Structure 1
Amino acid sequence: MDLVLIRHPAVGIDAGICYGQSDVPLAYDVAGSARVLDQRMRALKVPACVGAWHTSPLQRCALLADALGASHADPRLMEIDFGAWEGRAWDDIDRALLDAWAGDLEHARAHGGESLAQFSARVGRWFDETCRDGDAPVHVVTHAGVIRVLTARLIEARPASVLQWTLDHGGIVWLRRTRGEWFLVRWNA
């Protein structure tokens, strides 16, 4: 089974804003982004999508998924909920709160939203329902956080490590299950 995870294109808001579950617009034409992405996937020989694209319901993902073909939105594929930090500049958030969150990344909820553990469990429920037993390729347009927690889970890496890996807007992450074990085929392609 192949699991193809695509981070949404760049968003049309100021840099440095915390926008987890905020429904922010795309910065560029979605049709152009879909064409470029389709060309990259073909060049990488990514398996074709069978059925609908899975997507976060937030417009920055759903618009791209729709442009790539039929899509199925699932709220479990939304980015982490940053609670009171949503829409605020990272630089404006109290440094002590950020440090407390970083000090216990797995369980802290200094922002009042989801902890990493809660977020991972939500995304894991989507995976268990959608991908656990199937063999057909699954294609997803989602957020960097979703991609990182799924990758960490599947390749059995520490989430804190995978959270540090660069993942560009429009980046492709391709995972493959072979004989019950998951392998990372491409990261940020």
Structure 2
Amino acid sequence: MQLRVTFVAAARSSPLLAERFEDDRPLDQAGWDEVQRVAHLLVPLAAAELRYCSPTPRSRATGDALGYAPLVQLALRDCDMGRWRGLTLGEAMAREPEAVDAWLADPRATPHGGESLVGFISRVGNWLDTRPVEDGGRIVAVAEPSVVRAALVYALKAPPSTYWNIDVRPLSTTTVTGYAGRWNLRFDGAPVQPSRA
């Protein structure tokens, strides 16, 4: 049996340029407003046999607001950014420019003392590959945009550097179909378009 796993990117909790590594902030008012605007498009995904989410407050709140009652999956947590946790990319660059350059250039690098990009992609991919086929064919997972990017790199068997070329917008959906070791990207129509920020 093939699985159909639809990732819903969590609503935002800050403007894009203020995004922080491993951001634990809850949804802000703009995020709640975006969820309300697109809910009619995303609520039907609650019919999935299995509903999951990342452990972040905004992923849980997005899933709950959409009526998914998702089960938290630790494997869908954001990349462990070590001492850069809570910083923006600009702040990390200001403190450790050479370390940030090394991290961006080498997917195996861990200059922050956390998890490598390769390790992050593998962790998310392992979660994808271990979804229980016998429990049903449709899964929805609300996750941070970074987690969705990692899942796509894994599913497509793309080089880790591809991660930096994937743009995942808040409240967009991405579907992969298949089973362990064999995933296909599926386009289901027009993407969800939350308000511009």
TM-score under structure 2 normalisation?
0.78
Question: 52, 62, 69: which one pairs with 2:60?
Answer: 62
| Partner in structure 1 of residue 71 of structure 2 | 72
What is the distance in 1 between the residues matched to 2:91 and 2:31?
Answer: 31
What is the distance in 2 between the residues matched to 1:96 and 1:5?
Answer: 34
| Cα root mean square deviation, aligned | 2.8
Contact 2:79 / 2:120 at 8 angstroms: preserved in 1? yes
Question: 2, 5, 24: which one pairs with 2:4?
Answer: 2
Contact 1:148 / 1:159 at 8 angstroms: preserved in 2? no
SS in 1 for 2:130: helix
Deviations along 1:9-67, one digit per CA (max 9) or x if unpaired, are 111478334332x311212276644443332347xxx7653234200111010011122
Does the alignment pair 1:109 with 2:110? yes
SS in 2 for 1:26: coil
Go from structure 1 to structure 2 and tell me whether the alpha carbon gap of 1:34 and 1:70 turns closer, same or farther (over 3 Å shift): same
Whichever residue aligns with residue 185 of structure 2, its letter is F
Go from structure 1 to structure 2 and tell me whether the alpha carbon gap of 1:33 and 1:14 turns closer, same or farther (over 3 Å shift): closer
| Partner in structure 2 of residue 161 of structure 1 | 162
| Partner in structure 2 of residue 185 of structure 1 | 187
Query: Gaps (5+ residues) in structure 2?
Result: 192-197
Q: Percent identity?
A: 21
Contact 2:121 / 2:153 at 8 angstroms: preserved in 1? no
What is the distance in 1 between the residues matched to 2:51 and 2:145?
Answer: 17
Go from structure 1 to structure 2 and tell me whether the alpha carbon gap of 1:158 and 1:35 turns closer, same or farther (over 3 Å shift): same
What is the distance in 1 between the residues matched to 2:60 and 2:45?
Answer: 21
Deviations along 1:107-162, one digit per CA (max 9) or x if unpaired, are 10011111012212221232222256665111000012211121122122223224
Go from structure 1 to structure 2 and tell me whether the alpha carbon gap of 1:61 and 1:187 turns closer, same or farther (over 3 Å shift): farther
Query: Gaps (5+ residues) in structure 1?
Result: none
What is the distance in 1 between the residues matched to 2:141 and 2:158?
Answer: 21
Go from structure 1 to structure 2 and tell me whether the alpha carbon gap of 1:19 and 1:102 turns closer, same or farther (over 3 Å shift): closer
The alignment covers a number of residue pairs equal to 183
Does the alignment pair 1:84 with 2:83? yes
Deviations along 1:69-118, one digit per CA (max 9) or x if unpaired, are 2210011111111111112232232211111112212x100111110122
Go from structure 1 to structure 2 and tell me whether the alpha carbon gap of 1:124 and 1:24 turns closer, same or farther (over 3 Å shift): same
TM alignment of 1:115-126, pairs within 5 A: 115-126=116-127
SS in 1 for 2:17: coil
Higher helix fraction: Structure 1 or Structure 2?
2
SS in 2 for 1:70: coil
What is the distance in 2 between the residues matched to 1:123 and 1:14?
Answer: 23
| Partner in structure 1 of residue 21 of structure 2 | 19
What is the distance in 2 between the residues matched to 1:163 and 1:187?
Answer: 24
Q: Which moved more, 1:155-164 or 1:126-135?
A: 126-135
